Chain A
Amino acid sequence: MADWIVSVEGVTKRFGAVTAVDDVSLQVQGGEVFALLGPNGAGKSTLIRMLLGLQRPDSGHIAYRLEGTEGPPRPAHVGYLPEDRGLYPEIKVLPTLVYFGVLRGMERRAARTAAETWLERMGLADRGGEPLKSLSKGNQQKVQFISAVLHRPRFAVLDEPFSGLDPLNQDFFLGLIREMRDGGTTVLLSAHQMQLVERLADHVMVMNRGRPVLRGTLPEIRQRWTRETRLVLRVGGGGDGAALAAHPAVLRVDATAPGELTLYLQPDAPLNPVLAAAAQSLDVREVHSAPVTLHEAYVRAVGGETADADADAAQEVAA
């Protein structure tokens, strides 16, 4: 296992009668993208606040190793993109970015140069002299993102980084986060866009009601949650696949879209007989496999499907 840079052990946080985070443990490895997922109220933001030192856990321990040895993190080494926008709407963009860069330990001139470079990269070079509130929601999110990473942190916490972005800019942000990771920044992100997380995360932890209900690398999660083999057939001629449903290896056939059938097969069932049967009864134009998506695993885990088994499985994976 690679060296961890953030370690959370048995952390619990209560607010009155509500246990927001319940005995959570995790380790974030250096240079990875760690995705923290879960429904609203799952305890993600509380956990993030504790990671950033904004709140203290009632019990448990959080340790950092950002500089090789264990110790409290220096603000210059941590970046934070809050879920809600946290900048001054009335103040011009460039001075705001310089201010936050300086608060994170940068020299003023270096912060200004870095901010100008980032603004140019984001396509906002000519907007630095405008108040933040004059920018669109997506552009405000870009400025917020810059403020979190301007000082090139070793550990960046990005809470909903894709919020307010159109698909093109979501892809752009994916590239930026990958670039940060490749440049040595460890990223912990929280997001609701499962398809994006799936393309980005090295490690995933799903929380529900304050506790982790699913975690591991994406291959581990897929393996754990794959209960059948899935084939997607694009067919011509309007076949409904009723003949295939009777095949002994086929568990179920769903018409998932016009001209598209999804076959659910017994795990490890040989494919050739099924494909031969499909070729006999249908006008097959295209075939591809469909592994379990993160979205499906998330829905099943959070939806409480075999909750106890999931928790056990999660602990096995973690171990």
Chain B
Amino acid sequence: MSPLRATWEVARWEFLRFFKIREILVGLVMAIVGGAGAFGLMRLADRGSDDPVHIAVAGVPGLPIAVPPESRLRIQSHPAERMPALRQAVERGELAGLVTWRADGPPALLAGEGARWRGELEQVLGAAAMQARFGAVGVRPEQLPALLAPVTLDVTYTADATPPRSRGETILTILAIVLSLMGVFTGVGYVFISITGEKQNRVAEQVVAAIPPQSWVDGKILGLSAITLANLTSMVLSFVLLGLGARALGVSLPALPRAAGSPGLIATLVLVTALGFGFWFAFMAMVAAVVDDPNTSSRSGLLMLPIAVTSLAFIAFRGPDLAITRVLSILPPFSASVLPVRMLLDRVPAWEVALAIVLLAGAVWLLRRAAGKVFHLGMLMYGKEPTWGEVRRWMRET
């Protein structure tokens, strides 16, 4: 059997070993059901808030209160003498609130409950007070819109400038970082479990006697990268389904940024992410091969290293145009998590993307070779763990 076919067979085996279509489908259904349930609960909670809210305003006769037609607020002015009766009405729950206009301070509100409508009430009363003040100096109501119109700028950016981040871009980038972290975390977990399990079950001798160790480690990296990408794809699919469902139900969602519709950008992001998986999975293959017992080995702590490095993507999120971000987005293995964020939020020169991909691919190639060597010797070592010095020597021999 050629090394290439052996690699393919191991990749296929590893993929099928961990790929559980039923679990993925259950996950999708759970996401949809959960989303629909959350939406239903929100609607249920909002239903009570449709009831009219009766507010009394006392002490300012003639205040030009204008409540928008879609508002739940029902505001009525009363003379100051009725204040004791109105106060009692609030205490009995017949009125939601009582606003008392005072000459020596801001208006006071007496509310029976949480007064979640307070902001809306402040807007309505503020507009009425402003209209009253303008009326006092002779401004007619129809003149108010022109007087109060804000100044808005129609912005055009130069070709090199990066426009400010939209809400959609922010959400998409955070999702990308979360998916990347989840991918690395679950993927290195797969690699660690797979290899230490095979070592403990003494499968290693059987396999290494049949195929080259390099094919074995390559197949594992490919198969487990594929399963990780498949899992991430199912998560993206569930997000998309949830978004479509929410939109169909009339929920207002932020517009998708232009990057989401660029096949070239998406392909580059997937490539960089997949190379990142290759790097970290090769690293973890090397670590797992020199772990004798995963329950007691201190080397299990190295599982956190890929997560820590991948988390540097948040630096790029905070400052995509910082010098440190530019450097990290080119150097492997940081580039695997930093470059995608930078590409989503900033304009990245093509040469930087190309250089980052070449360097990352080279690093993956070297690491997989080193992993193959360490894997060969480490997998057949039982009862004790090789020292880091021995591991370094094996790697030098690569």
Interface residues of A (CB under 8 A from B): 49, 52-55, 75-76, 78, 80, 82, 84-89, 91, 95, 99-100, 102-105, 147
Contact = CB atoms under 8 A, between A and B. Distances in A.
B9 interface: yes
B219 to A, nearest CB: 10
Interface in B197-217: 197-198, 201-211
B19 interface: no
Interface of B: 1, 6, 9-10, 13, 16-17, 197-198, 201-211, 380
A84 B9 contact: no
Given A84-B202, A86-B206, 17 more contacts: A54-B205, A54-B208, A54-B380, A55-B380, A76-B1, A80-B206, A80-B209, A80-B210, A85-B201, A86-B202, A86-B205, A87-B203, A87-B206, A95-B16, A102-B1, A103-B9, A103-B210
A213 to B, nearest CB: 26
A147 B201 CA distance: 15
Contacts of A147: 206
Given A54-B380, A103-B9, A75 B206 contact: no
B17 A86 contact: no
Nearest to B207: A103
A2 B211 CA distance: 30
Contacts of A49: 205, 380
18 contacts: A49-B380, A53-B209, A54-B380, A55-B380, A75-B211, A76-B1, A80-B205, A82-B202, A82-B205, A86-B202, A86-B203, A86-B206, A88-B201, A95-B16, A99-B9, A99-B13, A103-B1, A103-B211
B361 to A, nearest CB: 28
A85 to B, nearest CB: 7
Given A103-B6, A105-B1, A54 B201 contact: no
Contacts of B205: 49, 52, 54, 80, 82, 86
B98 to A, nearest CB: 69
Nearest to B213: A54
A276 to B, nearest CB: 60
Contacts of A95: 16
Contacts of A89: 201
B205 to A, nearest CB: 5
A225 B9 CA distance: 51
With most chain A CB atoms within 10 A of its CB, the pick from B1, B6, B211, B380 is B1
Contact of B209 (A78, A84, A85, A87): A78
B382 to A, nearest CB: 9
Contacts of A103: 1, 6, 9-10, 207, 210-211
Most buried by A among B6, B198, B204, B210: B210
Contacts of B201: 85-89
A51 to B, nearest CB: 10
Nearest to B377: A55
Query: Which are the 7 A-B pairs with shortest beta-carbon distances?
Result: A86-B206, A84-B202, A103-B210, A86-B202, A75-B210, A105-B1, A80-B209
A82 B6 CA distance: 21
